[in-house]
Amino acid sequence: MAHLAILDQAREDEAIAGEQLGSVLKAVGGVFLGMALILSMFDFVDVREGTNLMIIVSGVLGTIGLVLIFLGQWKRAEPV
């Protein structure tokens, strides 16, 4: 019986760790997405000057942010 209690505790700890990792991934993804939105304010100036650097940077940051948010949501919803 003691072995079953230890296994149940291990599964519960693993589930909590997965939820915490999912929360961290979602938070970091939100930061990346926010940075992309802030940097996208300069896209018009960048296009007017003839370069595409800020468009590419904000697009990459936004994509990374969305991927991290989706991974975090998936990790939080993962069954034990």
pLDDT, block means (10 residues), the chain with 80 residues: 63 76 93 94 87 91 96 82
Residue 6: predicted pLDDT: 64
The pTM assigned to this predicted structure is 0.80
Residue 8: predicted pLDDT: 67
Q: Which value, to the nearest 10 degrees, does the dihedral of the CA atoms of residues 29, 32, 34, 37 take?
A: -130
Residue 19: predicted pLDDT: 83
| Alpha carbon distance 71, 19 (integer Å) | 11
Q: Which domain holds residue 38?
A: 2-77
Residue 7: predicted pLDDT: 62
For 2, the token pair is 């003691």
Cβ atoms < 10 Å from Cβ of 66 = 14
Contact 40, 59 (CB under 8 A): no
Residue 45: predicted pLDDT: 87
How many domains would you assign to the chain? 1
Residue 46: predicted pLDDT: 85
